[in-house]
Amino acid sequence: MKVCSGKEMKQIDETAIHKIGIPGIVLMENAVLAVVNEIKKDLQNIPKANVVIFCGQGNNGGDGLGVARHLHNCGMDVTIIFIGDPLLLKDDARTNYNIAEKLQIPKIILNKDALIDDQIATLIEKSDLIVDAIFGTGLSKPVSGIFNDLIDLINFYGKYILAIDIPSGIDSETGAIMGNAVKAHKTVTLALPKIGLYVYPGTEYVGELVIADIGIPKEVIDHAQLKMNVLREEEVNSFIPPRFPRSNKGTYGRVQVMAGSKGMTGAAALTCQGAFRSGAGLVSLGVPESITDILQEKLTEVITVAVHDEDGKFCRESFDDIKPYLKKATVIAAGPGIGQGPQVTEFMRRLIKHARIPLVIDADGINAIAKNIDMLRNLKVPVVLTPHPGEMGRLINKSTEEVLANPIDTVREFCHKWHVILVLKDAKTIIGDPDGQIYINLTGNPGMSTAGAGDVLTGIIAGLIGQGLNPYKAAVLGTFIHGKAGDLAAADLGQHGMLAGDICNYVPKAMKLYYPSS
- 87 annotated binding-site participant: no
In this structure, the answer to whether residues 304 and 212 fall within a common structural domain is no
Inside any domain, residue 234? no
In this structure, the answer to whether residues 396 and 328 fall within a common structural domain is yes
- 66 annotated binding-site participant: no
In this structure, the answer to whether residues 258 and 395 fall within a common structural domain is yes
Paired sense of beta strands 430-432 and 421-424, if any: antiparallel
- 137 annotated binding-site participant: yes
> Is there a contact between 387 and 439 (Cβ–Cβ < 8 Å)?
no
In this structure, the answer to whether residues 266 and 331 fall within a common structural domain is yes
CATH of the domain at 176: 3.40.50.10260
Give the N- to C-terminal CA distance of the chain in Å, as an integer. Answer: 21
- 267 annotated binding-site participant: yes
- 141 annotated binding-site participant: yes
Residue type, 25: I
Residue type, 165: D
pLDDT at 518: 44
pLDDT at 113: 84
**In percent, how much of the chain has pLDDT > 90?**
97
468 contact partners, CB below 8 Å, separation of at least 6: 241, 253
Last residue of a domain, one of 226, 241, 269: 226
Inside any domain, residue 239? no
- 139 annotated binding-site participant: yes
Per residue in 411-468, pLDDT tens? Answer: 999 999 999 999 999 999 999 999 999 999 999 999 999 999 999 999 999 999 999 9
- 140 annotated binding-site participant: yes
- 165 annotated binding-site participant: yes
pLDDT at 77: 98
Residue 348 lies in domain = 251-512
In this structure, the answer to whether residues 221 and 282 fall within a common structural domain is no
In this structure, the answer to whether residues 258 and 173 fall within a common structural domain is no
Residue 459 CB: number of other CB atoms within 10 A? 34
CATH of the domain at 439: 3.40.1190.20
Inside any domain, residue 245? no
In whole angstroms, give the CA distance from residue 347 to residue 338.
Answer: 10
Paired sense of beta strands 438-440 and 430-432, if any: antiparallel
Inside any domain, residue 297? yes
pLDDT at 404: 96
In this structure, the answer to whether residues 144 and 21 fall within a common structural domain is yes
In this structure, the answer to whether residues 97 and 203 fall within a common structural domain is yes
Per residue in 51-105, pLDDT tens? Answer: 999 999 999 999 999 999 999 999 999 999 999 999 999 999 999 999 999 999 9
Last residue of a domain, one of 226, 259, 280: 226
- 253 annotated binding-site participant: no
- 180 annotated binding-site participant: no
In this structure, the answer to whether residues 189 and 292 fall within a common structural domain is no
- 388 annotated binding-site participant: yes
| Residue 20 DSSP label | I
- 152 annotated binding-site participant: no
- 142 annotated binding-site participant: yes
Low-confidence ranges of the chain (pLDDT < 50): 518
Inside any domain, residue 244? no
Inside any domain, residue 159? yes
Altogether, the residues listed in the chain come to a count of 518
- 168 annotated binding-site participant: yes
Inside any domain, residue 473? yes
> Is there a contact between 300 and 273 (Cβ–Cβ < 8 Å)?
no
- 427 annotated binding-site participant: yes
80 contact partners, CB below 8 Å, separation of at least 6: 53, 55, 64, 65, 68, 100, 105, 106, 107, 108
In this structure, the answer to whether residues 290 and 415 fall within a common structural domain is yes
- 429 annotated binding-site participant: yes
Last residue of a domain, one of 183, 211, 226: 226
Inside any domain, residue 48? yes
In this structure, the answer to whether residues 438 and 398 fall within a common structural domain is yes
The total domain count for the chain is: 2
In whole angstroms, give the CA distance from residue 458 to residue 242.
Answer: 20
> Is there a contact between 150 and 54 (Cβ–Cβ < 8 Å)?
yes
In this structure, the answer to whether residues 463 and 376 fall within a common structural domain is yes
> Is there a contact between 386 and 458 (Cβ–Cβ < 8 Å)?
yes
